[in-house]
A and B are shown apart, each in its own frame.
Chain A
Amino acid sequence: GQSLEQPSEVTAVEGAIVQINCTYQTSGFYGLSWYQQHDGGAPTFLSYNALDGLEETGRFSSFLSRSDSYGYLLLQELQMKDSASYFCAAPVSGGYQKVTFGTGTKLQVIP
């Protein structure tokens, strides 16, 4: 089976840095994606890590450690508009065209 676990809620202060963790258990693993979803909106693709290490895209970075079955999304210089739910996601073993989403983390940015 496939499971991806995330903290349910995180609160952080505007301008600060926050890390959202994702631990996974999969029967096969290709890589880890991250999506952002604002309330009432659709998920938006943020990043994909196929290899271990840190990938940086502007204020957002994503990290993967295959040996630890662990990844995280790092958001820097937090802005109020970053308040949203964040999902990690992984391609399903044997069916790389589809992904399973993690449990999701609701990020609240406060002034």
Chain B
Amino acid sequence: DAMVIQNPRYQVTQFGKPVTLSCSQTLNHNVMYWYQQKSSQAPKLLFHYYDKDFNNEADTPDNFQSRRPNTSFCFLDIRSPGLGDAAMYLCATSRGGTGDGYTFGSGTRLTVV
């Protein structure tokens, strides 16, 4: 089945230690997104790629970076995680059209200790 896969499902990292979350898709969608979701809050867009074009949200901290080496894969790098970065990180894809729904991965829950 075509899908969006995130690894790992749970990630524990130390304060200040770089961590990378990964996302892959078999849908061949043009657009890939990274959202951060904290408890009882709406998902908040960090950035997205339309094909190779990177789009950063104005309020995304510099601590967060992303890479998309090819259509199928996208990575979220957190250079120096702080306690406030503990959250669920959701990867999503879409074809990019206005009415095209997102397909989300199951998310990576990040804990910072």
Contact = CB atoms under 8 A, between A and B. Distances in A.
Nearest to A34: B101
Contacts of B48: 97-98
Interface string B65-81: 00000000000000000
A71 interface: no
B19 interface: no
A89 B96 CA distance: 15
A100 B97 CA distance: 15
A100 B98 CA distance: 12
B9 to A, nearest CB: 10
Interface in B54-113: 55, 90, 92, 94, 96-99, 101-107
Contact of B98 (A42, A43, A50): A50
A43 B99 contact: no
Interface string A84-95: 000100010001
B45 A43 contact: no
Interface in A43-91: 43-45, 48, 50, 87, 91
Contacts of A43: 43, 90, 92, 102, 104
Nearest to B4: A42
A102 B106 contact: no
A42 B107 contact: yes
A43 B41 CA distance: 12
A79 B104 CA distance: 24
Contacts of A48: 99, 101
Contacts of B90: 42-43
B33 A98 contact: yes
Contacts of B45: 98-100
A31 B104 CA distance: 20
A97 B31 contact: yes
B2 interface: no
